[in-house]
Each structure stands twice: as C-alpha cells, then as structure tokens.
Chain A
C-alpha cells in the first residue's frame, strides 16, 4: 500500500465535558476520493478543523507523508498542502477573482498583475470552469465561489483537499460539475476528502468511504464493498438503550394547525400535515433538508409563497413574527447565541423580552416586581439552576440557557410551540428535562412542532414524524412505523417518497 498523504493517529478532542472526537484514526491516500459520512454532530467538523490546523488534538497526532507534524493554524496546514472548501465558501467579496485566488500567495513584494491574471485563467481552466477572472467575488454564485476556493488551493499545490458538503447548496448541474472537478483533482494525485449527506453522490464519486459516529471511527470500506443500507445502519447504530424511551402520546383529534401544499420558491415545496392539540409532531432530516425554513414560513419570518396554512380553523398568513405571536404561535430557534438570547442581559430580562407589553405599568414603565415574580416562577417550574434570576444568561450552562429560552416563549402562553433543535449541545440530564417540558406542554392541550436532527430524540418525542429531504416532504411516519434506519433511509433518499 502507498504511503498515506495525511493520517490521523488516535486523535481525541474534547470541548469542556463533551468529547467531539475519540481515538480517531483515518488514512488519506494520494489519488483517492475518500468520502466521510456521519449524522449531524458525529464529529466531522471537528475532524476537518484538526486536519486544517484550526484545532489541535488533545491526544494523538497528525502525520503527513508518514512524519508526525504539528499543524498550528490554517496557514501551517496550507503550507503543508492541506486546504478545505466549505459549503459556504470563504471569499473576499471586495476583491476580484484573481486577487481572491492569490490572496495568500507568497513571492516577490511587487505584484505582477498580468502574470497573476494569466495564472488565474490557467487555474480556472484547469478545473474546467468558465469564469471571468476580473469579476468581483461579491457577484459570484456559490458554485463559482467554490471554484475560486479550489483554484486558490490548487495555486498552493494542494495535496489534501477537504470538501465539506460542497454540493449541499448547489443545483444538480453545478453539483455534477463539482464532482467532475473532485475526480479530476484525485486523478492528478490529490487526496480528496469528500463529506456529503447525499449517499448516491458518494457511490458515484468516492473510492473509499469512512463512517463516523459519536466522534468515533466506525468503518472504512471500498465503495464497491458497501451498500447504502450498511452505511445507514453504521451511521445510526448506537446503543439505543442509553437513550430515552417513547413517552405516552397525549394527542387529541382537535386539529390546531393544518398545512397544505406549502412552498417557498427554490427552498421547499409540497409540505402538507395536520397538527393536533396534545400532539408532539417531529420534523426529521439532515442539514439542508429545509426543515427550519418551513418553521420560519409558519412563524412569518420568511412567509411561504405557495399553499395554505389554517390555524384554529381560520386562514393564517403571518407576514411577520408579531402576526404569528398574536395568533398564539411561539418559535424557539436553534441558535441560542445568535437569535435566541441576549447573552449579556439578565435571565429575568430575557424571560419577559417577548411579552414585555404585559409588564408595563400605567405610566409605561416596566413593572419589575411582576417581572421578578415571573422569573422566579419559571426558575422553579423549569428547574433553571442559577443562584438568582439577575445574572446574565451567558453565564449559565447550555441546558439552563435552553430552559430560559423555553421560559421566554412559554410565558406567552402559546397554543402552538415550535422548537428547533431543542437539545443541541446540552447534556443528557438537561435533555431529559427539556423533553419532559415539551411533553407536559402538549399534555396541557398545546401542540408542539419539534425540529430535530437527533434521531433518538425524534423517536422519543414524536407521536408522528415528518421526514424531509432537500425541501421535499418524504413521508409522515406514525411512531409505530418509525425507526432510526427508516428515517435515515428517507432523509438520504435511499427510500423514495411515498
């Protein structure tokens, strides 16, 4: 066997108490397209960041050409010929294509613009794209921006090119072009790492495929020696016993929300489901399945432009979140840090933020007494572990932050609660508490729409499960018919939509 260009040797990496990678070993050979598959959160991003020098392993090491190396920073990795192209490319919008390609080039102090331009044209031609090298990067499509990044990597004599979900946001035509480029690079001796959720793409392109799960390496096989079914079972095949068992359904026959043929041009289409009072309804799928976009449409942030939503028996067309909130819909978003909480502000302020008009005295001032009362109430009910409600939310653990976010929306007394990735990045004890809260809310007559990429969670919570894939509704499964394997088969397109 040839010497691997890059190898991870028993790499482990933890963030706080969470182990992102455990004893990971992986070899990348020159000239191969090496696909890596795993569920969301399996540790793929951490692995890429270690290969590209952004993170350093806690234990274990990286080898290049059989020699242990210390990759400190992306510059060091690039100098060794390791480069990455992401789903969202990293380009400089105010620079043109040529300047983008040669931004980290070294050489003479003075730039030879015409030589650079010619070299850029050559590189773009080498990957078989057509692109005007004088255009500003701000006007390029995603596919063109990726081409710029690949050209940049080529200009630095790339030996390991990591492509992280490169086709997730591309059209079918663009994706085929990109796969052709990846294959051409491998034929030139580059070791290509290809991370994708599209299993069919892996079978078209890759030579070998590695499955990782929960930060561990599960298997590496030749593509010809595996099947989609085997890959799926390896991706999800965890010890289910450690997780939660299904809670008793409290669903009634009373339809609260009825969605028909909902669509948003170019994003998702044909979404149809009924949501009953007392029901917990889950949406499962992989990154890029567009589940959050459906939630955003219902909540009025990016309204749908096709189909109908009926809510409490009446037509609902929320044009903004305030419309949806007025109707009794709450949306707990997935990104606590960016969209969910004001991290520097006290817990109390965060809890009453969405409902502040209720706390105004006749003079228009905030009645802090009532606020304190509410905060204390939620702290007790949701078991938010904090010395008091006046400290900044950012000081709490992830699980407690999540509870504050739930408090904020439960305080609205909604009828429909939409929760997006409710337990991402929180520990298992807090997870169970959040699940109990969701179930309690449903038992009291509310309806819950849960978006989750965590399959055990989907199975523990969902009375019914809607599986989406790339903007399409694949199926609605009753809990009795659902299994991790079935959901994964639908989410990756191995089982066709009904």
Chain B
C-alpha cells in the first residue's frame, strides 16, 4: 500500500485493519509454536470468553470516550450475576426476558450512582468508581451471605443457552452467547456512529470547552455513558451466570482492568474523544487470544503471562500514538501543499 492510499483511509479504519492484521500475525505465530493450534476449538474457546468481555468493553469504551473511566464494572458483573442467579433459583419459572431485564436494570442502577457522582457531584471518575468497585463488591459479599450459586440450581435453558450452536462447521461452532454479544456490539456501533445524540459523547471527550460553547449538556452525556456502561456490565453479568453457572463472591474480579486493556488496545484514546466500539471488540479478541494462547505455550511460564499482557498493552498504545501522530503530520503536510498549490494557481 503506498503513502497516498494510506492517507485516504480514515484513522479509525486504519486502526481496525491494523488490529485485524496483528491478530492474524499472532495466530500464525502460535500456530508454529503450539501443536494442533488452529482449529475449531480455539475459536469456540475464545468466542465464549469474548461473549462476556465484549459487552463490558463496549460500556467501558463509552465511558472512556467522555474522558472518564469505570473501574466498577467488574464488581457490577459479579453482583448482577449473583443477583440474577439468586432470582432464578427462587423463581425457576421466571420469564427469561424478565431475568435479562433484571440484570440490565440492576447494572444500570449501579451505573446511575457512578454517573450522578461523577457528573453532578464533580468527583473524578477514577475516585468514584474505585470507591464503588469496593462498595459493590462488599454488597455482593453481604448479599451472598457466604453462599454460592451453583449450576445445579439453575434451569437448564439458562445454562445451555450460551453454548447452543447456531452455526456449526466441523469443530467450529458459532454459539448463541457469542452471537448475542456480536449483535449488541454491532447495534452499539451503529448507534454510536449514526445516532445524532451519540455525537455528543465524542464532542464532550474531544473538547469539553467547545462542547459547552456548542450548547451540549456534558453532565447529562457523562451520566448517560455511565448508565449504559452499568447496563452493559449487567448484561455481561447475566452472560457470565449463563456461561459458568457457578457464581462466588469473586465473580468478575479484575474484569475492569481487562475491559480497559481491551478498549485501549482497540484504539480507544484514554484521553477521550476518539475510538470505536468495533475497535474495542477487536481489542477484546486480541487480548483474549494472547491470554489463552500463552496458557498453552510451554515456553512462557504462568508467572510471565501477566507481564506479556502488560507489555502488549504498552506496545499497542505506544505504536498507536506514534503511528497516528505521524499520519496526522503527513496529512497536515499534504493539506498545506494543496493549499499552496491552490494559492499558486490563483495568482
């Protein structure tokens, strides 16, 4: 690809292409390292785990776009998973749609608390969600009363649903859980790029001062972003319950960091204003691919897996920053040249 056609692509599209390319390279690399690596089971394993994390990363992306961060999503996932599990244990005949709505609303409620504190009490989001991360987790411990949810107590439809193969090609199965997640990500992407109010999320993160001047109520935008993040974490809680069946008080622990990593690797700017849900989705896949492949790679000991993941995030962000900055400069230079040429043509 030459310079000119590279410049013609939007930075967002370039990022997505780069992510796909890197994912491909990593697949090829591990295929040479691990026997019997590239098969349907690899896809099944990763798609099942992505089905939960992609929802959280989508919500996290919305929050990061507004220049905030949501550290409470892991606890929200844990709490909603447990609460939904308790509810369905108590009422095994409950309509599935109501169970999903219960988890989503519970999550949205947690997000509402975060959003109100960040937007209207003007407490920095890192403080608010650090506090609510601990708070929601403690609520879960209190609520669970030292009991766990086990898959035996759950109805069969719930436990079976995520692994239901919708399309099967040999070993490879596209399962219902993954399809649901992909659908939600796609809808979120469509809304974020095409819905008029969604533009405000980018505006608030990109230049808060200009957003205020343009008459955008940034508090409301931030509040909505947190509510959506909580709601998506609630949905993820439901998916988590369905996937694992066994829920303890540590459910969803560490998910907040994974979701941030996925968003950032997926090209969402931690300074807000730029990024896409599709990028975060690909970031989720990439992080999970590396994580699960490293488990099977004998050369890397278990202790180094976290380090490799950390290095990955650093490299992704550094390369992205350098690359995009370089591209910006090239674009500016080209625009300058065109302007000069036009001026020359006029005079």
Contact = CB atoms under 8 A, between A and B. Distances in A.
A111 B210 CA distance: 21
A103 B216 contact: yes
A92 B215 contact: no
Interface string A106-120: 111111010000000
A94 B11 CA distance: 10
A68 to B, nearest CB: 21
B199 A111 contact: yes
Interface in B176-224: 194-197, 199-200, 202-203, 205-207, 209-216
B290 to A, nearest CB: 28
Interface in A126-147: 130, 132, 134-136, 138-141
Interface stretch (B94-102, B121-129, B153-161, B328-336): B328-336
Contact of B206 (A79, A92, A105, A110): A92
A53 to B, nearest CB: 9
Contacts of B202: 92, 94-95, 99
B343 interface: yes
Interface string A417-450: 0000000000000000000000000000000000
A185 B273 CA distance: 32
Contacts of B212: 74
Interface string A445-479: 00000000000000000000000000000000000
A90 B195 contact: no
B62 to A, nearest CB: 15
Given A92-B206, A103-B203, A74 B196 contact: no
Nearest to A53: B215
Nearest to B271: A94
A91 interface: yes
A110 B202 CA distance: 16
Given A92-B203, A139-B335, A173-B343, A73 B194 contact: no
A109 B203 contact: no
B171 to A, nearest CB: 40
A93 B206 contact: yes
Contacts of B86: none
A104 interface: yes
Contacts of B215: 73-76, 78-79, 104
B114 interface: no
A43 B194 CA distance: 42
B194 A74 contact: no
Given A103-B216, A104-B216, A134 B10 contact: yes
B332 A139 contact: yes
Contacts of B328: 136, 138-139
B138 to A, nearest CB: 32
A107 B11 contact: no
Between A90, A94, A99, the greatest number of chain B beta carbons within 10 A of the residue's beta carbon is seen for: A94
A121 to B, nearest CB: 16
Given A111-B199, A139-B328, A90 B335 contact: no
B195 to A, nearest CB: 6
B195 A111 contact: yes
Which residue of B205, B210, B273, B343 has the most chain A CB atoms within 10 A of its CB atom?
Answer: B210
B284 interface: no
Given A74-B213, A78-B215, A94 B196 contact: no
A91 B210 contact: yes
Contact of A104 (B10, B194, B214): B214
B342 interface: yes
A139 B325 CA distance: 10
Contacts of A103: 199-200, 203, 211, 214, 216
Contacts of B211: 92, 103
Q: Which bracket fits the contact residues of B?
A: 20 to 34
Q: Is the interface of A mostly helix, strand, loop or mixed?
A: loop
A107 B199 CA distance: 13
A74 B11 CA distance: 32
A209 to B, nearest CB: 27
Contacts of B269: 94
Contact of A90 (B196, B199, B214, B339): B214
Q: Which of A79, A103, A106, A136 has the most CB of B within 10 A?
A: A103
A456 B200 CA distance: 47
B280 to A, nearest CB: 16
A236 to B, nearest CB: 32
B194 A94 contact: no
Interface in B206-246: 206-207, 209-216
Identify which of B214, B328, B335 gathers the most chain A CB atoms within 10 Å of its CB: B214
Contacts of B213: 74, 90
A225 B33 CA distance: 86
Contacts of B203: 92, 95, 103
A106 B273 CA distance: 21
A105 B199 CA distance: 10
Contacts of B335: 132, 135, 139-141
Contacts of B339: 130, 141
A134 B196 CA distance: 18
Interface in A61-79: 73-76, 78-79
B274 interface: yes
Nearest to B197: A109
B274 to A, nearest CB: 4
B18 to A, nearest CB: 17
Interface in A277-327: none
Given A103-B216, A109-B196, A109-B197, A93 B207 contact: yes
B69 to A, nearest CB: 17
A92 B195 contact: no
A430 to B, nearest CB: 30
Contacts of B11: 136
B199 A94 contact: no
A447 to B, nearest CB: 39
Question: Which of B196, B202, B336 has most A Cβ within 10 Å?
Answer: B196
Interface string B314-343: 000000000000001001100110010011
Interface of A: 73-76, 78-79, 90-95, 99, 103-111, 113, 130, 132, 134-136, 138-141, 152, 173
**What 10 pairs between A and B have smallest CB-CB spacing?**
A75-B215, A90-B210, A94-B273, A94-B274, A92-B206, A94-B206, A104-B214, A139-B332, A90-B213, A92-B207
20 contacts: A74-B213, A75-B215, A76-B215, A90-B209, A90-B213, A92-B202, A95-B199, A99-B199, A103-B200, A104-B215, A105-B196, A107-B196, A109-B195, A111-B199, A113-B194, A130-B342, A135-B331, A136-B331, A139-B328, A139-B332
Interface of B: 10-11, 194-197, 199-200, 202-203, 205-207, 209-216, 269, 273-274, 328, 331-332, 335-336, 339, 342-343
Given A75-B214, A90-B214, A140-B335, 8 more contacts: A74-B215, A91-B207, A103-B200, A103-B203, A108-B196, A111-B196, A113-B194, A139-B328
